[in-house]
Amino acid sequence: MATTSWETEPASLTVGDATISAQIRQTGPEGDWHVTVVISRAPDQPLLDASEVTSELIDQAERPVAPVDRDTGLLVEAGTSLSASTNANFRFDLEAAPPRELRISYRGQEVRFRPRPSGP
């Protein structure tokens, strides 16, 4: 099965002291949609619990599609003395139509992205 990557508009948004971005991949024409939420923030902060991050795809009919799988527990963090990034992974079972919108909530604050196919 081919994997198709998608970009988001905007590429990132600021929520409090963090910057939120997302990577979206579709596996096959009727396959799963994988969303990786990337949270960039200052180093040396307590690890994030997966429950502090939610993700929802909105289909073409403007209906929310809840994830069928997601990370749980403490999220792994990587970084340097200047910044750190944490990834939260979600999997959605969405029909072949591309999503209309991606909604991400981080510590209760929501941001919205428009998915679009990667490339020129």
**Contact at 8 Å (CB) between 37 and 91?**
no
Report the b/e string of 25-49 with b at 16+ CB within 10 A: bbeeeebebbbebbbbbeeeeeebe
Q: Which residues pair with 12 in a beta bridge?
A: 21
Average pLDDT for the chain: 90
What's this model's pTM, rounded to 2 decimal places? 0.90
Instruction: Give percent above pLDDT 70 in the chain.
Output: 92
Q: What is the pLDDT of residues 21-77, one digit of tens each?
A: 999 998 866 678 999 999 999 988 999 999 999 999 998 889 888 788 999 999 999
Task: Give the per-residue pLDDT at 112.
Answer: 98
| Topology (CATH) of 3-117 | Immunoglobulin-like (2.60.40)
Task: Output the pLDDT for position 4.
Answer: 85
Q: How far apart are CA 20 and CA 42, in angstroms?
A: 13
DSSP conformation class of 72: -
What pLDDT does 1 receive? 53
Across the chain, the runs of DSSP E, i.e. the strands, are 3-9, 12-15, 18-27, 33-41, 53-58, 64-65, 69-70, 77-79, 84-92, 101-106, 109-117
Q: Report pLDDT for 60.
A: 87
| Residue 82 pLDDT | 84
Q: Where are the domains of the chain?
A: 3-117
Cα of first residue to Cα of last residue in the chain, in angstroms, is 23
